[in-house]
Amino acid sequence: MSPMLPKGSSEESSQQPSSLGETLHRLTHTYKSRLRETIKEKQIPLPITHIRALKGISRNPACTAHSIAQRMQRDKAQITRVLNELLKDGLIAKTDHPEDRRSQLLQLTSSGDLIIAQLNAVEQQITAQMTSNLSQQDIASFIRIAHSINDNLSNQSLQPQPDNQSSSTDTQAQE
């Protein structure tokens, strides 16, 4: 099955993307926009970077600033600024790392736990809306395919690309 629909196809509409890349871009954009709108409606007063850091801390009991920087693929200075703001707002706390005195573990405070509970409710609401007309089998297939695509891209990024392919990829990425 080709990822491109032929022009004039009965399946093609002006609202429907015609390629896998366009479909993924549109899905990602729509999902992120809906998250931002709903977070704003629920009056959760945090930027997305702060939310991502909180979520990372909530998922990892041995979380450090370094692990957050790696997970978010951000530089340590930016993560340090975000974590300092979360500390100042009373959403996280630092404790001494029992195995590495140079490092500190990050934990949510009770206020941070409340924000995470609100965020989880927002995500559940959006997920329910997003999957309302899909079967469990459709959802499982989508997740499996998305993981496979992500793995393919992650594995390819580790392999050197010939010059002619990388320049065409760069051109496509800029569009």
CATH of the domain at 54: 1.10.10.10
Query: Residue 144: inside a domain, yes or no?
Result: yes
Query: Residue 9: inside a domain, yes or no?
Result: no
CA atoms of 115 and 54, how far apart (whole Å)? 9
Query: Residue 139: inside a domain, yes or no?
Result: yes
State both tokens at 137. 């089998």
Query: Which of the four pLDDT bands, split at 50, 70 and 90, describes residue 101?
Result: confident
Strand partners, 94: 106
Q: Are 20 and 2 in contact (CB under 8 A)?
A: no
Query: Residue 4: inside a domain, yes or no?
Result: no
Q: Which residue has the higher pLDDT, 70 or 109?
A: 109
CA atoms of 144 and 24, how far apart (whole Å)? 15
- Parent domain of 30: 20-151
Q: Are 126 and 35 in contact (CB under 8 A)?
A: yes
Number of domains in the chain: 1
pLDDT digits (tens, 9 = 90+) for 32-56: 999 999 999 999 989 988 999 999 9
Query: Residue 105: inside a domain, yes or no?
Result: yes
Query: Residue 32: inside a domain, yes or no?
Result: yes
pTM above threshold 0.85: no
